[in-house]
Chains A and B, each alone.
Chain A
Amino acid sequence: MTNTRNDALDPTDPVGAWRTMRDANLDAWAKGMATMVNTESFSKALGIQLDTMLAASAPMQKMVSQYMESYLAQASMPSRAEVISLAQRMTNIEMRLDDMDARLDDILFAVRALATVQSPTSVVDAPPAGDATPEPDATPESEEKSAPRRGRKAAGE
């Protein structure tokens, strides 16, 4: 098997010898390139290349954007900006819902704690939602605590 690397050159293995030479060349080339990309002139060239590309694409992008906006307006369809704005509002609503959900959980915990203090035998404390083996005598209320938004199996996993 010539894929087992050995630094010593094996003259009976012409392919291995070629491979050793190839790797030596690549290593030398890699070192040179790594040094080259870490120079000020390369950084400058890279920056200029990007800047040129952006300068070239800007007018085209502007033209396409203007055309699409007028086309979508004529077709009574929402523009990209409007869809983005809508998506952002949805995320804000989602954040508020998440906060409300957490507050609701807090209130439920407080109510349960209060009920436990008033009649210690009537309500059993809920186990943590992540507990793999819930208490056998957990009440249905304790399961409801996390049921609506937790426990989805990872889709496509």
Chain B
Amino acid sequence: MTTAPNSALDPEVLTKRFFEEFDRLTKSSDTFSKLAANRLDIQIGLTPKTVIWSLNKAKLYHFTPVVPPEQRHPVPILLIFALINRPDIFDLRPGNSFVEYLLSQGYDVYMLDWGRPGLEDAHYNFDDYVLEYMPRVVRAAQRHSGKRDFSLVGWCIGAMITTLYATMRPDDGIRNLVLLTAPLDFADKNAGPFNRWLTTEFYNVDELIRQHGNVPGSMIDYGSKMLKPVENFISSYFKLWDNLDNPAVVESYMAMNKWVTDLVDFPGGAFRQWVVEFYRENRLMEGTLKLRGEKVDLRNLRCNFLNVIADKDHIVPTCQSVTIMDKVGTRDKLLLHMRGGHIGMMVGSGANKRVWPQIDGWLKKRSV
């Protein structure tokens, strides 16, 4: 009995494929050598902006509007990012920038950059950021825009800060509050590695702060990468290698890598509070949190409230974000489940089609 020749084992086909791969390898090696030699650089955070206010290391930016004043929404937006990493992630690169999108939709956009804390800032904690910095930032934005009402958008730890601020100063003109992947409820000690690592008795946060002042950005980065060690230390490089002949993928990788590796130290006082009062004692949700002696009662959060969570968030598991919905005092509230990870939800390839339009749709109705 005879069988048809198997094209899969045809030496000619195999050789052809091998040479195709060899050709691709040659091109990839060229890109790789440029990458390794730092000859390929990419700029992030390129949307034109102006510094309108500064205090210590913090700066408040106003992005140049692209829509005529008469077509703009009357309620400006203030973007607040985490204390760690740079806020450039809001404005990663042209074509993949949340800021650019908001401007094109007719919003007046402000963004706070917390800056890079020095040792002189090691004592700062959430009390300072929420009650000293935030009111001044908001005041500066209000005076610059000439508008009293504004929308606050907080991301990650920035979402915690904006939540605390909106709760403690509900009459400051906050019309809308948008939280992105907000870590708020740490009741479930088995939810995610961070919760386990930081709540163990062996994690000596006091000695860490005593010795370092601020927690080094490299340590935070290492911790974040250890959440998914194989993906972060191995797979991502293989994926890059596989796509080195694809300029779009390389550019996207470099932009993200530039942001990820631009490390910022976590102010010591805030880190201690983050670990002890939030992760370990869950004071915000327990109703025992006090900032400057003032009790934080989530029922005082009365502005319109949008809570956006990512279903594949390995840094902030969804259970840390959802429970606030039952605790806030506002009636206008919406929980939005989106696809993606902690950062990828807002800067991934589908963000401008899935997430941003939903946020815009919600904000638009409440920015009149």
Contact = CB atoms under 8 A, between A and B. Distances in A.
Contacts of A155: 51
Nearest to B207: A54
Contact of A154 (B61, B196, B242): B61
Given A30-B230, A150-B52, A43 B132 contact: no
Interface in A29-64: 29-30, 33-34, 37-40, 42-44, 46-48, 50-51, 54, 57-58, 61
A43 B147 CA distance: 48
A54 B121 CA distance: 21
Interface string B44-55: 011011111101
Interface in A102-134: 102, 105, 127-133
A43 B144 contact: no
A153 B51 contact: yes
B138 to A, nearest CB: 11
A85 B123 CA distance: 11
Contacts of A143: none
B45 A130 contact: no
B235 A43 contact: no
Nearest to B227: A37
Contacts, number: 166
B196 A13 contact: no
Interface residues of B, number: 68
A19 to B, nearest CB: 7
Interface in B133-174: 136, 139, 143-147
A68 B260 CA distance: 34
Contacts of B234: 26
A43 B120 contact: no
Given A40-B196, A128-B144, A149-B53, A51 B211 contact: no
Interface string B89-126: 00000000000000000001000000000111101000
A76 interface: no
> Which of B193, B199, B208 is the most central at the interface, judged by chain A CB atoms within 10 Å of its CB?
B193
A15 interface: yes
> Which of A48, A155, A157 is the most central at the interface, judged by chain B CB atoms within 10 Å of its CB?
A157
A47 B204 contact: yes
A54 B9 CA distance: 59
B206 to A, nearest CB: 10
A141 interface: no
B4 to A, nearest CB: 14
Sort A-B residue pairs by CB-CB distance and give the 6 closest, nearest first: A128-B146, A47-B202, A11-B8, A87-B120, A30-B230, A130-B144
Interface of B: 7-10, 13-14, 17-18, 20-21, 24, 45-46, 48-53, 55-56, 61-62, 64-65, 68-69, 108, 118-121, 123, 132, 136, 139, 143-147, 192-193, 196-197, 199-204, 207-208, 211, 226-231, 234-235, 238, 242-243, 245-246, 314
Interface of A: 1-3, 11-15, 19, 22-23, 26, 29-30, 33-34, 37-40, 42-44, 46-48, 50-51, 54, 57-58, 61, 80, 83-85, 87-88, 91, 94-95, 98-99, 102, 105, 127-133, 146, 149-155, 157
16 contacts: A2-B242, A3-B246, A30-B228, A34-B227, A38-B196, A42-B193, A48-B202, A50-B203, A84-B119, A87-B118, A91-B120, A94-B55, A94-B56, A152-B50, A152-B51, A157-B49
